[in-house]
Structure 1
């Protein structure tokens, strides 16, 4: 017999708007598995590798904006969730993590599949709960119902993130023959109304008066999902104030008219006079992290007079070492309220626009004429992405190359990346979760190390037809050949690059994906249209390059860039 409060975890989740559940098989978690699998309103999938399962759930939640539920058995299964839980915590993605456990009296008694699961995720979880073991008393039932509602409310409260419920379970784990599960449609559910986080008229007036003291206003957009209302408010603010906006590829601001997209190239300029002409009086930031190291170093050196960060709640990092004010509202509310409140500096707009145009033209010309390398290959891939598609950028060099090159303003591509902790460990799985939650073609741009690290993200029965994987295979961790420190060490190839000779052909065959290999720009340009065709189905496009040649061409790019600017 499965106790009603355990069954009703699934009912409360469904009533609270959960749509997707990712299970990993096990016996201790059987009551949870059966409850979720039999609920008529939930989409439930099974992924055997808990690490991959958790990143798939992360991709689903990141794409839908709704919590995904994870369920696993006791023991190290819970620990395998940890990388994705940490990523969700820093990326602010809602997850509800349910870990089955042995009853407390059996912890540390040399019993199987038993670890110390209370607070197992430490400081990388928003809240952690322990489900009651004894569920007979009405107060215990009330406690469980309240707990599940509170966990889901907290997962969605800004900043969103993962919440953990550890569920100790006694045998029997399975319903008796003929026993039917009953979901209590009257189960207690606690709703939470979201705060509006708008600026008050008085607060708006105060900030508008202060902004009149600043002529050169620079906006830096951090990582964020595509938000049409925010883009509209920001576009109006830029048009009425003369503010300049800079956006990494993961900020999803490329469709803004006038947005600076090539800051990595621009801020490589060695001319101090040009750099000073770009220095803001007021820096306004919103969103999460930025990729561009050049932008971070520039703003730490050429500090603004004031730095305002716009964020409804939560901790605020002083990334640029110049933070002077935190404004607790949504970015869209701020930009709507503050339109027309600065003195436009036409020279400042012209300085940024001029060098942005020059950098964009240089990159287009260089990647058109330069020899075959990772940089030129990725430029072809980005330019070929389908309209109205998703792009997930793996960490290491894939996300950096993409940020250098940028998307074009006319491209309707939504960009995702695991930049909460910036690890390579779950990019494939996260992209699979995104593809399962979207009708759009969803492309992963990844390196060989990140791809092979996470092959188990493909080990399940749900690979969607809209999944496309582009692997840049240089048979090594090529980033270490581009960084000044490791590339000068005799240990480079064995201990940093960790060279390998794998390719993805057999992986594609194992999991039923189409496979195409490219060794030149000509082969790549010929392959891309068919690869991205909607009818093509899930596939892998593997682009082979040489890490030594890539380093030479990247150095040539940087040298040519300095001359062009």
Structure 2
């Protein structure tokens, strides 16, 4: 008895494999776009042709070709961070998708939604020595939320409906409950290019009829994270009871908006809780930042403050903060972690209550709950705010008398970036400099940084992705971060704002670590790169300015801002030459001064 859902053998023999591939990919993309995906970043290749052909049929899909797969992956990472939407990556078979690996790891650890589409040869060729064929089915191991290998495309309506559902599922899983990458391995038989017009045929009509049967994105939405929280949470946010004794609110890296900032401020004031904000929380920069503690890393260099300001418990939003000193100081303190995903950001293993729920709901409930804390808790908050104020004054005094170094660069840059724009801060020294010297600003500024695994790779490509999908974004990089992503310079014309490069002669973070002074230090750790950044910038058509003084920095920023006001595009490279040894001496001088001279009044 024949199956009514399957064509007979004669009909099957007439099926154009190229058309089958195309319809299959069209169904997959339809599902992905139903999940909210709007950007496909691809690197050229043959085996991925069916996906490219299907993507060309979608006027509502933004397609960005990038030659280097590694750069493409970081571009997609930046775009996903800026848009809060899933972004798809596409590459051909073989080693090509392996070049995504660093960005995939970052996306996994930083909870960034990516959909990885690796084209593949047919399964019959795997493990038989066929050209450009490896086992790609679980290429990314534990760093993806799901792996899928749906097999070869099929013309059957049920199969097309299934692959559309897979696209919708992949996009939604990348967003919740624990955002991150999802991998779909797509095997294709040749011919990869249809031999006939696939659209308007009977097969095309059947395909559209099949995929139209799937529910819309709205009705197929995966439940939010809090619905899956029972195994991890101690209850609803409304039931959260704060412990007794002096506590702190810590806001680590995360996507916190102005609504959260406002409700957090109300909750903190109501319950007399100081708020320490990591630079990548974004809470240091905006109209609600007046009570935010930013100088904690400096405060903790003072032995008296280190003891007097130690809490008995912590309420943390977001991932673990950038500051290693803060993390070590908090070691052993019971912590409540509010995490909207299903992550386990607990490097000190001190989390005693983990709630997977909306941070806005937690703050709103705390702001509306009765105040049960007394005068001692108010004194505790006043002590923190007084210590913060005095430390800011000391920082300001030091900056007025010290030679020009990173502290001045950070302050000047943050003061000049216009409201509602963004800054990408690279890892190693730049993010630590930002943490130490940023202070606050009333105008809103979005901060980006790849702190999932804190690599110095892919910074220029990430920047291009942010500029493509988000607000105009500046960049603050070190010379090694720039050199680590030279292929990302090919995307530099997509940028709308300057790249500021602190050229201090290599990996200066090691000047502050135990490796400093070891035999072979210059060659094996600092690894200075002898390269003319002006020539490098010119090779990709990027204007370059090399400066060595505060006045020159102000003038070149004036030029960039004037250009941005006129054309909305001020892409350029500003290279700042600094004496790394002198910078290290200035930092040591400042740290010694705050460790010994900071007044002790105002502490509990």
TM-score range, shorter chain: over 0.9
Q: Which runs of 5+ in 2 are unaligned?
A: 1-17, 599-604
User: Equivalents in 2 of 1:446, 1:465: separation in Å?
Assistant: 15
Residue 379 of structure 1 deviates from its aligned partner by 2.9
Q: 2:355 aligns with which of 296, 311, 327?
A: 327
For the pair 1:496 / 2:525, whether they are aligned, the reply is yes
Matches within 5 A, 1:151-550: 151-176=170-195, 178-180=197-199, 184=208, 186=212, 188-189=214-215, 191-195=220-224, 197=226, 203=236, 206-208=239-241, 211=242, 213-254=243-284, 255=286, 256-271=289-304, 274-300=305-331, 303-304=332-333, 306-339=334-367, 340-344=370-374, 345-438=377-470, 440-460=471-491, 463-464=493-494, 466-483=496-513, 485-533=514-562, 534=564, 535=566, 537-550=570-583
For the pair 1:35 / 2:51, whether they are aligned, the reply is no
Contact 1:428/1:451 (CA < 8 Å) preserved in 2?
yes
3-state SS, counterpart of residue 486 of structure 1: coil
Contact 2:86/2:115 (CA < 8 Å) preserved in 1?
yes
Residue 193 of structure 1 deviates from its aligned partner by 4.5
Q: 2:102 aligns with which of 83, 86, 102?
A: 83
> Alpha-carbon deviations, 1:297-338, whole Å to 9, x = none?
1111xx44x421112341323334432111232111111112
3-state SS, counterpart of residue 502 of structure 2: strand
> Alpha-carbon deviations, 1:254-288, whole Å to 9, x = none?
133311011111111122xx323212233101111
Residue 205 of structure 1 deviates from its aligned partner by 6.3
Which residue of the partner structure matches residue 11 of structure 1? 30
Residue 187 of structure 1 deviates from its aligned partner by 5.9
Runs of 4+ in 1 over 6 A off after TM superposition: 198-202
3-state SS, counterpart of residue 474 of structure 2: strand
Residue 106 of structure 1 deviates from its aligned partner by 0.6
User: Equivalents in 1 of 2:523, 2:138: separation in Å?
Assistant: 38
Contact 1:432/1:467 (CA < 8 Å) preserved in 2?
no
- TM-score in terms of structure 2 length: 0.87
User: Equivalents in 2 of 1:473, 1:277: separation in Å?
Assistant: 39
Q: How many residues in Structure 1 have an aligned counterpart in Structure 2?
A: 554
Which residue of the partner structure matches residue 553 of structure 1? 586
Higher Rg of the two aligned structures: 2
Contact 1:126/1:163 (CA < 8 Å) preserved in 2?
yes
User: Equivalents in 2 of 1:204, 1:220: separation in Å?
Assistant: 17
User: Equivalents in 2 of 1:374, 1:490: separation in Å?
Assistant: 28
3-state SS, counterpart of residue 248 of structure 2: strand
> Alpha-carbon deviations, 1:375-408, whole Å to 9, x = none?
3333322332222210111111011101111242
Distance 1:204 1:113, change over 3 A: closer
Q: 1:146 aligns with which of 161, 165, 170?
A: 165
For the pair 1:51 / 2:70, whether they are aligned, the reply is yes
Contact 1:362/1:564 (CA < 8 Å) preserved in 2?
no
Which residue of the partner structure matches residue 124 of structure 2? 105
For the pair 1:2 / 2:19, whether they are aligned, the reply is yes
| More moved, 132-141 vs 447-456 | 132-141
User: Equivalents in 2 of 1:177, 1:141: separation in Å?
Assistant: 20
User: Equivalents in 2 of 1:203, 1:12: separation in Å?
Assistant: 33
Residue 239 of structure 1 deviates from its aligned partner by 1.7
User: Equivalents in 1 of 2:455, 2:235: separation in Å?
Assistant: 43
> Alpha-carbon deviations, 1:443-465, whole Å to 9, x = none?
110001001111211324x8335
User: Equivalents in 2 of 1:264, 1:393: separation in Å?
Assistant: 18
> Alpha-carbon deviations, 1:152-171, whole Å to 9, x = none?
11111122110000001111
3-state SS, counterpart of residue 240 of structure 2: helix
